[in-house]
Structure 1
Amino acid sequence: MAILVQDLNQWKGAAVVDATDQKIGTLASVYVDAATDEWLFAAVETGLPGFKKVVVVPLDQAAVGRHDVRVAVTKEVVKAAPEFGTDEELGPDDEPRIYAHYGLAYTPADTPSGRRLARR
């Protein structure tokens, strides 16, 4: 089942789990391709209160369940992903690192800023 961006935005605050039902964190926001508006990544808040961080998780093959969003990558892979502060914005150097971490091909967008992702 395809997930629309507006549908995922309704899931903010929901648990994000991997394919084995291990909780990764909580859905904080969705990143979309600025040119196509297709969902690409989820910003997932992890950690304990007072020590929260955000990791970006690919939404390729993601699905929504009854009370969670299930992603195709394992919790272990996500734990090793680049981390960001909860109020931090992604910079132009962050996108290639994120794509590389998950083994995804990265091509900068042909936009004035060179940025591909837009937070929703």
Structure 2
Amino acid sequence: MTILVQDLNQWKGAAVVDVTDAKIGTLASVYVDAATDEWLFAAVETGLVGFKKVVLVPLDGAAVGRQDIRVAHSKEAVKNAPTFGPDEELGPDDEPRIYAAYGMGYSPASTPSGRRLARR
């Protein structure tokens, strides 16, 4: 199933689960490729109230279920990825670290800022 960015934005607050149906957290927002506007990562809120963190999870291979979004990564892999505060902006060194955490190749985008990710 193809997931469109506007469709994922309608799923904010939905559960995000891993390949074994283990809940990772809830969808907070979607990050898209700044050059192509294609979805790349789900910003997933994890943790308890007052201790919330956000982790970016690749959307490649993701699927929408009846009430959740299933990503193609294990909860353990997501737990080992960099986390951010709920309102924290990504810095210039964050993008390569996020890609590396999932074993993905990274190259700066051909945008004026050289940044690849844009929050939607």
TM-score surpassing 0.5? Answer: yes
- Residue 51 of structure 2 aligns with an amino acid whose one-letter code is F
- What SS is found at the alignment partner of 2:104? coil
Amino acid at match of 1:53: K
Query: Is 2:101 the counterpart of 1:101?
Result: yes
What's the CA shift string for 1:47-92, capped at 9, x where partnerless? 0111000000000000000000000000000011101000001111
User: How much identity, in percent, do the aligned residues show?
Assistant: 84
| Match of residue 41 from structure 1 | 41
In 2, Cα distance between the equivalents of 1:29 and 1:118?
Answer: 10
Query: Any gaps of 5 or more consecutive residues in structure 2?
Result: none
The CA distance in 2 between the partners of 1:111 and 1:72, in whole Å, is: 28
Superposition RMSD in Å: 0.5
For 2:91 and 2:10, locate their aligned partners in 1 and report how far apart those are by CA, in whole Å.
26
Q: Which amino acid aligns with 1:115?
A: R
Give structure 1 regions of 4+ aligned residues with deviation exceeding 3 angstroms: none
* Counterpart in the other structure of 1:5: 5
Q: Deviations over 1:1-56 (max 9, x none)?
A: 11000000000000000010000000000000011110000000000111000000
Gaps of 5+ in 1: none
**2:62 maps to what in 1?**
62
Aligned residue-pair number = 120
Question: Which residue does 2:30 correspond to in 1?
Answer: 30
* TM-score, scaled relative to structure 1: 0.98
